[in-house]
Amino acid sequence: MRIVGLLLLAGIVGLAGALGSGRLAMPDRWNPWAPLAVADAPNLLTGYKLGRLVDDPPACRAVLAASGMRYAAEPDRRVDGDCGWRDAVRIGATPTPVSQPFVLACPAAVALALWERHSVQPLARRLLGAPVVRIDHLGSFACRNIGGETGGRRSEHAQANALDVAGFALANGRTIRVARDWHGDDAPGRFLREVHAGACRFWNVVLGPDYNAAHRDHLHLDRGGFRACR
């Protein structure tokens, strides 16, 4: 068994070396050393590549620049000691227009672009018969604690690492609202619940109306250090 383990380890090391040197060709979407591309269909490496962007701001900006998102770089900012943002952008479109511009940390912005492309738009076309033309939100940055509690842990909103999505406008003039449509058995309700599930592929924490009353009117999406899909 020890010999088998050593042979397996040698094979993995050899494969890594071949990929890293370019001797073995592999599609970028399956190459763990290749940059993340928002246009590529998500796979098992997407989360890994997205996570690497936290420690590589230039790579994150390169991914975002190729995503079709409309944004402007924001200078780093500190507010009230431990609030503020680093390596953030002000987003005007995902490329879908948003109800108003907002600031997000770059890796969270990439997660948003992935979610919009691979979950929101395909589900809107399939379940609602029209693409989304506007994403309505309740904000991203807010210097506050989780649940607004005094003395509690800071929310990911305090680092511009979270977004609260309230609903969507469609090309056919229809609007979908989390507060109104989440619990419905019709297409809007199914759409909201499926985009909630789809967000869990790209965001570390996704909370909706089934989590608690504080989230009755929005989907909370963040790239914090915990994992939760509720």
Instruction: Provide the pLDDT for residue 7.
Output: 46
Q: Considering the domain boundaries, does residue 7 fall inside one?
A: no
Which of 13, 67, 50 shows the shortest CA–CA distance to 200? 50
In-domain check, residue 207: yes
DSSP the chain: -HHHHHHHHHHHHHHHHHHHHTSS---GGG-TTSPP-TTSPP-TTHHHHHHHGGG-HHHHHHHHHTTT-EEEEE--EEETTTEEESSEEEEEESSSEEEEEEEEEHHHHHHHHHHIIIIIHHHIIIIISS-EEEEEEEES----BGGG-TTSPBPGGGGT-EEEEEEEEETTS-EEEHHHHTT-SSHHHHHHHHHHHHHTTT-SEEE-TTT-GGGTT-EEEE--SS-EE-
Q: What band does 9 get if pLDDT is binned at 50, 70 and 90?
A: very low
Q: Is residue 111 part of a domain?
A: yes
- The rounded distance, in Å, linking the Cα atoms of 96 and 170 is 11
Banded model confidence at residue 26, pLDDT cuts 50, 70, 90: confident
Residue 6 domain-assigned? Answer: no
Domain count across the chain: 1
Identify which of 77, 105, 76, 101 has the alpha carbon closest to the alpha carbon of residue 89: 105
Confidence of residue 76 (pLDDT cuts 50, 70, 90): very high
Question: How do residues 124-156 score in pLDDT, each as one tens digit?
Answer: 999 999 999 999 999 999 999 987 666 678 999
In a domain, 160, yes or no: yes
Q: Is residue 11 part of a domain?
A: no
Q: Is pLDDT at 42 greater than 90 in this prediction?
A: yes
171 domain residue, yes or no: yes
The identity of residue 138, as a single letter, is L
- How far is the C-alpha of 82 from the C-alpha of 4, rounded, in Å? 51
Q: How confident is the model at residue 12 (pLDDT cuts 50, 70, 90)?
A: very low
Give the residue numbers spanning the domain of 121. 43-229
Which of the four pLDDT bands, split at 50, 70 and 90, describes residue 77? very high
Structural domain contains residue 184 = yes
